[in-house]
Structure 1
Amino acid sequence: LPSFQDQWLPEDVLAKFTKYEYDPAKAEEILKAAGYYKGDDGYWRTPDGKLIELEVTCPAGYSDWVLALDELVRQLNEFGIKAEARPIPNPTFWPTAHSGKLGLHLNWFCCWWGTGDPYTGYYDLFFGDRSLDTGVGTGADGLGLVNQEFDTPWGKAVPGQLVEQLLVETDPEKRKEIVWKLAYIVNENLWEIPWAEKRLQIYYLDGVRATGWPLPDDPVWTLYPGGGERVAYVLISRGILKPVISGS
């Protein structure tokens, strides 16, 4: 996550990662070099003349995702890739995604829900729901790359093994070294393309109905994503958040 990047990935490590810049001209150059070409209608075709058509989906119940989907499809068409947006009702979208049957779609990525620790995100990608949606893990009819060996600047590594090591390793510096390898593997292969970090907006007023809310930089807030009740449980059970008693 960008908001945690500085804590885990120093500049000398990031310098080893491939940088992806928005460059339509470069994208066009790559396609042409591979034999792709544009037809008279302005849309790209494969070397054997087949029109490239994409259907891009997302959960219809997330209005911000639908807006992002519309913008993504607009940019694809502007570049010359014929694309159509198709939001899918949430009760249908998620089972279909977990079956590995969806093509290009918007999804969660690197979910650190409830921990504020990269283990949660990498477990989700290689063993959890995202492993099903992308086919990266072992549970979907897809790539099954969780147990494949990849080259990294620090030697060969298997992502599934790295995730398991990250769970049990207690040395902070060794955990960072594990994260470097995982981050490198994900960045170089791009099974998912991150386009935004969703920042939670939490509103509270101290001293009216309750008092004792933690400071904005308190680590307890990392529990909030994916279930804000966790924060309330910790604060109340530990006597940190208390009701305001007015009058007598």
Structure 2
Amino acid sequence: MGVFSKPAIEQLPLIRNCMPFSGIPLIDLSQPDSEALLIEACQEFGFFKVINHGVPMDLISKLEAEAVNFFSLPLSEKEKAGPPNPSGYGNKRIGSSGDIGRVEYLLLNPQSFPSVFGQNPDVFRSAVSDYLSAVRKMACQILELLADGLMIQPRNVFSKLLMDEQSDSVFRLNHYPPYPERQALSGKCTIGFGEHTDPQIISVLRSNNTSGLQISLRNGNWISVPPDENSFFINVGDSLQVQQLFS
């Protein structure tokens, strides 16, 4: 999940020039044809949007509010959540891969939450736990549809990795604060990560209603993904791509 400071319109990552794109594959998880559409989206785009995902909006709103409160705290308070190894608070400048600005984040392993979560740790911890429970359920459904589509047995071959008590899955809350140094040079506040792939099987992405996410198509063209705060975006990771190649 990404949490952006306001004004959001001034904080768009400029990896490269790209055009808005309205053809992002849409997967309705409540429909019986979702498996076929999902597999096609993975093969053609490696990316799709999920609706009717079963994650209650009140859980999403609660977690986002707690995240905004946390990142609004003084640095000394945020640092009490500890270094992110494997769970905790991080704050760094980004720029080694065409990135611009700074990012601060909470990296959370479900098995090892930090002991400190801002001014209301119990409320924050509860918000994270409830949200992760609902998102894991959605992710398991997607992973089992993927296994079915790739004709991999058993169908829980991917989802059991997520539900295992020793799972190495992580949850990351990103916050992109304003970058005054860049603003002084360019007159704009532009931030974001440079181009990259994700090593996981899939990445489940959600942002507040802020533009900035971009993906590369097969032909090498970059497109902007319109934000949708009511949906989740799924990105095919390197591990699943390798699995598809050898299936």
Query: Shared fold by TM > 0.5?
Result: no
Q: Rg bigger for which structure?
A: 1
* Larger strand share, 1 or 2: 2
User: TM-score scaled by structure 1?
Assistant: 0.29
